[in-house]
Amino acid sequence: MRLGAAIRRWGGGWMRRPRSAAPAGGAPSAASGEESARLEALLAARQVQRYEIERWRAAFAALPEPCVLLNQAGRVLFANREAERLLGLEEPAPAGTALDDLLRRTAGMRVWREPLADGRNAELGELVVLRDPSGEARDEQVLGEFLSHISHELKSPLNTIRSYAEMLLEGSVDRAATQKEFFNVITEESCRLAKLIDNLLDLSKIDRGALVPQRARLRLESLVGELVRAAEPQARAKGIQLAARVPSNLPTAFADKDLVGVALNNLLANALKYTPEGGRVQVRASHDEGTVCIEVEDSGIGIPPEERERVFEKFYRGASTEVRKQPGTGLGLALARQIVVLHGGTLTVDGAPGRGSTFRIVLPVGGREQREAFGLPEAT
Ligand code: ADP
């Protein structure tokens, strides 16, 4: 008896012993004993096969990509949960539906198709991976904007460096004071380039999980002091009143000084960049039980409510012309937030257009218990 026929005959009973395997009213003959053993084996094989199919279905259903499985005739065998969600299906797609009928539900759906074959190259059907058209268009737009920003950001300091260096080389600048000024511009522009590249590298390291904070005891008041002092020339040049109000009794944080410095510096640089001449920027710190809070407040252009979360996305830049007038890559806040999150903290923003912004970092602070729990060294 062939497998298919045996299964049909025994009604596919799950672990059910075939009722007619032994002739009624008598001891089983040797032949019927053999037959019954063969049927038992067939049923056990079928049980394993079903189990394998169920296991495979469960794995396929849980795939994080929206996938549809087609038979050789191009008809739907199975659509996983992500595909159902993307296609807006409230119930599982009926087996046998034509793929085109499913795809018609979402305009512009992109598909990627991979033929499936068994070990002997016999065609089994196709795996179709769906692509959310809105997500893809958004990714392409973000990537396009990023490339244009990044090339502008790289090109403008490089052009400045080149033209100032050429003037110095041509000997067209005689006065020592002017030469010094030119060298200063070259140094500043190369620092800007280095900062941009550092931000990109740090973000990519965080994405790969390769950036591990080197935590040590960190005195935030001295870090804030250093950063504010370094930003003073820039604030003066723009006529911005820059002040720090940090209590000296702030508890110690266990944090990576360089990384927290990058995050705070990005907030401070933005506050100065997005505050018009004559404005105010203030860095404040306070503490509560188990946390320390550092705020960078400015009297600048502010952020509309609908952009308050988006500004932390990689490559996102505000839509207003005031923002677009300023150079930028949309990386500073993404990096700042990732760094703060790496330290178990939060970074948020308040404010309103025309009324300034307040960026707030909240970090857990470590007492002796925290240091001991983490096995952290005392900083010098
Ligand atoms: P970039 O400044 O290079 O554009 P960021 O990631 O640092 O990138 O900031 C993302 C966006 O957040 C900015 O493009 C701007 O729209 C907004 N933003 C950041 N800081 C401020 C601020 N202090 N005031 C107003 N808008 C800000």
Whether 199 lines ligand 1, by a CB cut-off of 6 Å, is no
From CA 18, how far away is CA 3, in angstroms rounded?
A: 14
Residue 339 has pLDDT above 70, yes or no: yes
Output 111 or 361, whichever has higher pLDDT. Answer: 361
The predicted pLDDT at position 205 comes to 78
Whether 303 lines ligand 1, by a CB cut-off of 6 Å, is yes
* Contact present, 105 and 122 (Cβ < 8 Å): no
How does residue 147 score in pLDDT terms, banded at 50, 70 and 90? low
Whether 157 lines ligand 1, by a CB cut-off of 6 Å, is no
Q: Distance between alpha carbon 192 and the CA centroid of its chain, in Å?
A: 25
Output 152 or 192, whichever has higher pLDDT. Answer: 192
The predicted pLDDT at position 371 comes to 54
The pTM is what? 0.58
- Cα(217) to ligand 1 centroid in Å equals 30
Whether 334 lines ligand 1, by a CB cut-off of 6 Å, is yes
Residue nearest to atom 21 of ligand 1 (CA): 270
- Cα(357) to ligand 1 centroid in Å equals 10
Residue 24 has pLDDT above 50, yes or no: no
Residue 20 has pLDDT above 60, yes or no: no
The predicted pLDDT at position 372 comes to 55
The predicted pLDDT at position 173 comes to 83
- Cα(17) to ligand 1 centroid in Å equals 71
Which residue, 4, 47, 39, is CA-closest to 19? 39
The predicted pLDDT at position 150 comes to 65
Residue 238 has pLDDT above 90, yes or no: yes
Residue 143 has pLDDT above 70, yes or no: no
- Cα(354) to ligand 1 centroid in Å equals 14
Condensed to tens digits (0 to 9), the pLDDT of residues 313-326 reads: 887 889 899 998 88
Condensed to tens digits (0 to 9), the pLDDT of residues 189-211 reads: 888 778 777 777 787 777 777 77
Q: Distance between alpha carbon 67 and the CA centroid of its chain, in Å?
A: 22
In sequence order, which residues have a C-beta less than 8 Å from that of residue 227 and are 6 or more positions away?
Answer: 261, 264, 265, 268, 283
From CA 333, how far away is CA 316, in angstroms rounded?
A: 9
From CA 38, how far away is CA 34, in angstroms rounded?
A: 6
Phi and psi torsions of 28, nearest 5°: -70, 135
How does residue 353 score in pLDDT terms, banded at 50, 70 and 90? very high
Whether 300 lines ligand 1, by a CB cut-off of 6 Å, is yes
Whether 263 lines ligand 1, by a CB cut-off of 6 Å, is no
Q: Which atom of ligand 1 approaches the CA of 266 most closely? A: 7
Amino acid at 211: L
Condensed to tens digits (0 to 9), the pLDDT of residues 50-105 reads: 777 777 777 777 777 788 888 888 898 888 888 888 888 888 878 888 888 888 87
* Contact present, 148 and 332 (Cβ < 8 Å): no
Whether 340 lines ligand 1, by a CB cut-off of 6 Å, is no
Output 151 or 279, whichever has higher pLDDT. Answer: 279
Give the residue-averaged pLDDT of 135-160.
68
Whether 102 lines ligand 1, by a CB cut-off of 6 Å, is no
Reduced to 3 states (helix: H, G, I; strand: E, B; else coil), residue 131 is strand
Continuous H helices in the chain:
3-9, 30-61, 81-87, 99-103, 133-170, 176-207, 220-237, 257-273, 321-324, 332-342, 368-374
Condensed to tens digits (0 to 9), the pLDDT of residues 275-293 reads: 999 999 999 999 988 899 9
Amino acid at 178: T
Q: Distance between alpha carbon 153 and the CA centroid of its chain, in Å?
A: 23
* Contact present, 185 and 164 (Cβ < 8 Å): yes
Condensed to tens digits (0 to 9), the pLDDT of residues 162-186 reads: 888 888 888 888 888 889 998 988 8
Residues in the chain: 380
Pocket test of ligand 1: the residue of 317, 325, 338, 361 to mutate, having most ligand atoms within 8 Å of its CB, is: 317
The predicted pLDDT at position 21 comes to 41
